Structure 1
Amino acid sequence: MSATFMARALIASALAVPLLATAASAQPVQLSPHRATYALSLDGGTPAKRVNSAKGEIVYELRGNACAGYSVQLRQSTDIETDGGRLNSSISTASWEDPEGNAYRFRVVNTVNDETPEEADGVAERRDGQLVVKATKPEEETIRLAKGVLLPTQHVVKVLTAAGQGESIVEAPVYDGSPDAKKVFDTLSVIGKGTNNPEGLEEAATKADLAGRMRYPVVISYYERGTDGQTPDYTISFDLFDNGVSRALKLDYGDFALRGTLISYEALPQENCAK
């Protein structure tokens, strides 16, 4: 597996975390600003090829509301011991998405083993249903994406709306800007039955505004658009609370998988919004 592919998968899993809550009764979207920290480790339940150990951390922060839009800050560091030596991936991302999914800003910086960082930077605007991306990194160019492509927050709204209505399958193309400001991924989301049973939850997932909340198990498979592969490029799974917080992350790259355990959670101040 290339460092670039691994970094892209890690980025996407993290950017999938800005999770919106909605209900079958079509109540206005409610998103809880929060800061969450996840400890990463090698998933012992998945056979690992050429990977001996792994550890790391994701620190994720979401702010905003349905009036001003939603911003995400992410820092992630992962150390992996392979048969060929150690691989360290350090990732930072910043993104903002407007409430209607018509404008998007993103910046991604990925450093592998202290080498020259790989960067993606740009803005996207929806025009007549089509996303037009103006990238400044890795190079200046304009990219026109097909109609119907969703932004990250739009995608999760669609998934959680389906969950609230008892649906179990969502298919959608998604764009988040990484790793090169060009790629669109076709996604297949499988949604399980919701529960508010606290059994098995981490301590951080039982406190503050997470206590007693409904959550849904979700598995999302990502396929790079334009390829013929029947096997996903990677798969992520997590429990999705109805206020937009994630727990029990699993990042499956095929050759190995990482687990992300929620070790701390802080609800951030909710900004006023009339919507």
Structure 2
Amino acid sequence: MPSACFTRFAVAALLLGASALPAMAIQLAPHRATYAVSLDASKSGTRINGAEGRIVYEMRGSACAGYSVQLRQDTDLATEGGRVNSAVTTATWEDGEGKSYRFRVTNRLNGETSEEADGVAERKDGELTVTATKPEARTVVLGKNVLLPTEHVLRLIRSAESGEAVLEAPVFDGSPDAKKVYETLAVIGRETRDAKGLEEAATIGDLAGRPRFPVTISYYERGGSSETPDYVISFDMFDNGVSRKLKLDYGEFALNGTLISYEALPKEDCAK
């Protein structure tokens, strides 16, 4: 995405209350996925005439070691006022039990930093507290029942496998300002294993024949008065946390992300 929004999918996409799911219930796959970014031509009324770029998402770790995510998205937008380049990079680590989260997010427009967030979130007695160094030094208590990104992914998969069609949850990922919480509403479709129309990268290795679920997540700023979401993300979610067929809808325009390469990374043994 042209802003730090993608971190809410990827780390969010992805996709528990104040505690983590049983560690062995769901096995997230360490992997590296690359997506080609293009403008969604079906979105009318946009001032964006074209878009091209790439998203590279890498997740490593386990429930024992915690989950680290590296993401970079470079997007060139052709606008009425000229070309705009957006480059967002994120680096996060999340404890397997959802008790600790480190994040660093940088968003650059035309080579200049426009947003930057850096900090640590810790959960104690159910309450999530964020200590940030950027964009400014501060400590914010976000309260209870706020999910971290991997917690959200795990809850999405659990809900999908249980046949639940809707999941509502507040989520914190650090972007864009190290304090914002989004209320999310996820609509989850039925499981499919149909390979028709899949990209080649989604049919190889440990993705071949895996069940997946269509997911649409709407993000609303906590405390906001608008009934219109700030942005909407949709994707196909495999049961190991890998995603394909991205759509990132920002209201005025939308971007598509097509999976062009997928690499399974070494798994870490976990005795939990």
Normalised by the length of structure 1, the TM-score is: 0.93
Determine if the alignment matches structure 1 residue 207 to structure 2 residue 199.
no
Does structure 1 retain, via aligned residues, the 8 Å contact 2:213–2:237? yes
SS at match of 1:111: strand
**What are the residue-to-residue correspondences of 1:19-38 with 2, within 5 Å?**
19=15, 28-38=25-35
Deviation of 1:160 (Å): 1.2
Deviation of 1:156 (Å): 1.5
- Give ranges in structure 2 of 5+ residues lacking alignment: 16-21
Determine if the alignment matches structure 1 residue 159 to structure 2 residue 144.
no
2:81 to 72, 79, 84: 84
Determine if the alignment matches structure 1 residue 99 to structure 2 residue 96.
yes
CA RMSD of aligned residues (A): 1.6
Determine if the alignment matches structure 1 residue 266 to structure 2 residue 263.
yes
Match of 1:237 in 2: 234
Match of 2:5 in 1: 9
* Deviant stretches of 4+, over 4 Å: none
Deviation of 1:14 (Å): 3.0
Match of 1:186 in 2: 183
CA 1:26–1:34: 2 relative to 1, 3 Å? closer
Residues 21-72 of structure 1, C-alpha deviation per residue, up to 9 Å, x if partnerless?
A: xxxx995220110000000000112214111000110001000011111000
Match of 2:142 in 1: 145
Query: In 2, distance between residues paired with 1:273 and 1:38?
Result: 29
SS at match of 1:212: coil
SS at match of 1:179: coil
Query: In 2, distance between residues paired with 1:116 and 1:162?
Result: 38
Give 2:41's aligned amino acid: G
Query: In 2, distance between residues paired with 1:52 and 1:45?
Result: 12
Give 2:6's aligned amino acid: L
Query: In 1, distance between residues paired with 2:229 and 2:56?
Result: 26
Query: In 1, distance between residues paired with 2:265 and 2:6?
Result: 24
Does structure 2 retain, via aligned residues, the 8 Å contact 1:6–1:253? no
Residues 213-265 of structure 1, C-alpha deviation per residue, up to 9 Å, x if partnerless?
A: 00000000000001110000000000000111000000001111100000000
Does structure 2 retain, via aligned residues, the 8 Å contact 1:41–1:55? yes
Q: What is the percentage of aligned positions where both structures have the same residue? A: 64
Query: In 1, distance between residues paired with 2:6 and 2:46?
Result: 18
Determine if the alignment matches structure 1 residue 72 to structure 2 residue 103.
no
Does structure 2 retain, via aligned residues, the 8 Å contact 1:13–1:251? no
Determine if the alignment matches structure 1 residue 257 to structure 2 residue 219.
no
Deviation of 1:272 (Å): 1.2
SS at match of 2:33: strand
- Give ranges in structure 1 of 5+ residues lacking alignment: 20-24
SS at match of 1:160: helix
CA 1:267–1:48: 2 relative to 1, 3 Å? farther
**What are the residue-to-residue correspondences of 1:165-184 with 2, within 5 Å?**
165-184=162-181
Residues 64-112 of structure 1, C-alpha deviation per residue, up to 9 Å, x if partnerless?
A: 0111110000011011111122111111100000111110000001110
Query: In 1, distance between residues paired with 2:112 and 2:154?
Result: 37
SS at match of 1:161: helix
Query: In 1, distance between residues paired with 2:121 and 2:265?
Result: 27
Query: In 2, distance between residues paired with 1:133 and 1:110?
Result: 20
Residues 118-165 of structure 1, C-alpha deviation per residue, up to 9 Å, x if partnerless?
A: 310000100111111000111111011021111011111111111111
Give 2:93's aligned amino acid: W
Query: In 1, distance between residues paired with 2:45 and 2:202?
Result: 28
Query: In 1, distance between residues paired with 2:181 and 2:168?
Result: 13
Give 2:32's aligned amino acid: R
Normalised by the length of structure 2, the TM-score is: 0.94
